[in-house]
Amino acid sequence: MKKAAIIILAVFLLFTVASCEPSAYVLTEDTFFLVMSNIRVYPAQYEGKDITFESFTYRLTDVEGKDHYCCVRKCSAEFGCRCGKDTIIGFILDYDGDIPEPRNQSEDTVEKTWIHTTGKLVFTDGYEPTLISIYAADGVTVEKVPFFVYHARELSLVENYSDLNYYVTK
């Protein structure tokens, strides 16, 4: 009887631990870079899960002149492009409403168009990111920068962004 109770307890604990996977992710100042880096390596873990965060809008123009509206933060070059310059970390933004126009895009300043979003990643080609071909910092070299598509269900402007980090590193 004692052995059966221990087995039942072990199965119960195993089931409890296995079902502890979060159903939603809220990215904070302390977790933004870590979670974004993890999404890039383990995208399947985030499939079907709500992801909520603050970022700024960014217009990325590819080599063919097509604009891609993104929700991003700035980070070190290791994350995206290989040109040696700092880059952006985030998603291609898919939203059914109006996407607020990017502001001060080429300037290293917190004065951006900040948004608060909740939505889910969109996977159309397995778990492969969309590769956007852009010109590197030299204006000649073409590189492919990977971005997952994020469908925002909710999107609102952040009026007070004084506690948000423009540049994320951890």
Average pLDDT for residues 79-83, to the nearest whole number? 50
- Domain boundaries in the chain? 24-157
- CA of residue 13 relative to chain centroid, distance: 33
pLDDT digits (tens, 9 = 90+) for 85-138: 667 889 999 999 999 999 998 888 899 999 999 999 999 889 999 999 998 878
pTM greater than 0.85 (yes/no):
no
Q: Where are the beta strands (DSSP E) in the chain?
A: 24-26, 50-61, 67-75, 87-95, 114-122, 130-135, 142-157
Q: Which amino acid is at 151?
A: H
Q: Within a 13 Å sphere around the CA of 38, how many CA atoms are in the beta-carbon half?
A: 12
Rounded Cα distance between 99 and 9, Å, is: 51
At 136, phi and psi to the nearest 5? Answer: -70, 180
